[in-house]
Structures are given as C-alpha cells and as structure tokens.
Amino acid sequence: MSTVPNPFDMTGKVALVTGASRGLGFAIASALGHAGATVVINARTAENLTAAATKLREAGIRCETAAFDVTDSAVASAAVDRIVQDHGRLDVLIANAGLVNRAPLGEWTEPHWDVVLNTNLRSALFLAQAASAPMKRQGSGKLIFTTSITGIQGRGTIHAYVASKSGLAGLTRSLAAELGPSGINCNSIAPGYFETELNIPLLSDEAFVKRVIDRTALKRWGKPEEIGGVALMLASRAGDYITGQQIVVDGGITGTM
C-alpha cells in the first residue's frame, strides 16, 4: 500500500457549497463529498435541497442542508456561524449560486440588474467575509467562486451576468491578496457551456447548441460532473499553492478557434 498521502483527500474537512440543489453546485458537492468532506449544501428551495441531500447521502456522503438566500448577507453569515458551531471549523466555501437575466439592452431595468449583481457578485463578498473569520483562526481555508467564460468572452443580452462574473474574477484576486498571509487561498472556476437548468433556454435553441459545439475543441457541451475535479483540486491540499487564479473549464472554447 502507498504511504504517500493522497493530496485530494478531504477527510475531516467541512465545505459549504451554495447553489447546490442541482447543476454545477450539486456536482461540486458530490466531488468533495466522495473525497471525504462533510458537505453543507445550500439553495433557497428547501424541498429541492432535501432531495439533493438524500441523493448525496445515498451515495455515502456526509451531507447537511442550509436553506437560505445568498443575497441576504445577515442570514448567510448566521448560516456560516452555525456550521462552525456544529463542526468546530469551516475549510471550504464554494460560492456558486448564480442566475442570469437575458434581455436586449433597451429592456433592462434596475431590478433586473440588481438581482443578478446581488446574487452573483455582492453575495460572494459577504459569504467570503463570514467564512474567512473561522478560516483565519484555523490558519487555513479555501474560497472558491464560480465565474464564467462569459466574463472573458462577452455575449450580448446577458449584460449584468457578464459584469458580475468579470467582477467576481477581480474579487478573486483582491481576496487572494488580502487573505494569503492568513493561509487562505481564493480562486475561481470559469465554466464554459454546461447542460444545466440555467441553460434551458440555450439548450432549446438548436442553432445555439450547434454553434457552441462547432466552436468547442472537444465538440460537445460539458456535463455537470466534469466541473467536480477542478473544484476538488482547488479545495484540497492539491491546490495549496494556487491562489488568485481563474481556472477555465470549457472544452477548449476560449483557447481555440
């Protein structure tokens, strides 16, 4: 038997994953849980969260739920405190909850802009603020955000989404700079096009589906479980010397032509 410790082993670690009742967040929770972490999964809809937790537990994962809206920073901070009270630690925050609004520029209103910016960007700062307090006491922790390749390659109609994800990539770097001396890493994952509920309108547009396939080096859309590996790498000891980075997982759409 090998005596070299597995750098991806998450035994004894506690991770909060937001937006984890389905899609990419669920896949990330599953990857961390299979590696041995206790995962606390979050979303707003308690019923969906319970169903997701049941699936993870059936797969042998230690899983708890925390239903809250990430845009309510006081409630989010209280949820982080509760995890620390229950487990004595918090090792990983995956701030993944996000949404999109699609409309031509002329149809945008302030509420449309605010809901996207508050969910995708503002909430990440306050979740990181809450999570970094126990991490500082521990002298270690991993903050991981889900950005998007649309923050790199803009696309029309999703203005607030592109702005929020670009902002989140910047926040990744400023938090990495400030928290590095406390032993806390901050990175983000920029997915390309994945088959999730967020993309139902795109997936039902045959021409758009084909356009993505044609432009992607691997000639297909991503499957949610294909995001889990990079999240595990960043969350585990394997990622201990990576900070301030945005890692693209997109089948080659931004790297090739």
Ligand X SMILES: NC(=O)c1ccc[n+]([C@@H]2O[C@H](COP(=O)([O-])OP(=O)(O)OC[C@H]3O[C@@H](n4cnc5c(N)ncnc54)[C@H](OP(=O)(O)O)[C@@H]3O)[C@@H](O)[C@H]2O)c1
Q: Which residues are catalytic?
A: 161
- Between 10 and 144, name the residue whose CB sits nearer to ligand X: 144
The span of 2-10, 85-93, 192-200, 228-236 binding ligand X (CB under 6 A) equals: 192-200
Contact between 185 and ligand X by CB under 6 A: the answer reads no
The span of 3-11, 69-77, 81-89, 171-179 binding ligand X (CB under 6 A) equals: 69-77
Compute how many other C-beta atoms are within 10 angstroms of the C-beta atom of residue 243. 20
- How many angstroms separate the CA atoms of 36 and 55, rounded? 16
- The string over 207-219, giving b where at least 16 C-beta atoms fall within 10 Å of a residue's C-beta and e elsewhere, is eebeebeebbeee
- How many angstroms separate the CA atoms of 188 and 251, rounded? 17
Contact between 25 and ligand X by CB under 6 A: the answer reads yes
Q: Of residues 14, 16, 21, 32, which one binds ligand X by CB under 6 A?
A: 21
Size of interface with ligand X, in residues (CB under 6 A): 30
- The string over 153-180, giving b where at least 16 C-beta atoms fall within 10 Å of a residue's C-beta and e elsewhere, is eeeeebbbbbbbbbbbbebbbebbeebe
Contact between 24 and ligand X by CB under 6 A: the answer reads yes
Q: Are strands 141-146 and 184-191 parallel, antiparallel or unpaired?
A: parallel
Contact between 98 and ligand X by CB under 6 A: the answer reads yes
Contacts with ligand X, residue ranges (CB under 6 A): 18-25, 42-45, 48, 69-71, 96-99, 119, 146, 148, 191, 193-194, 196-199
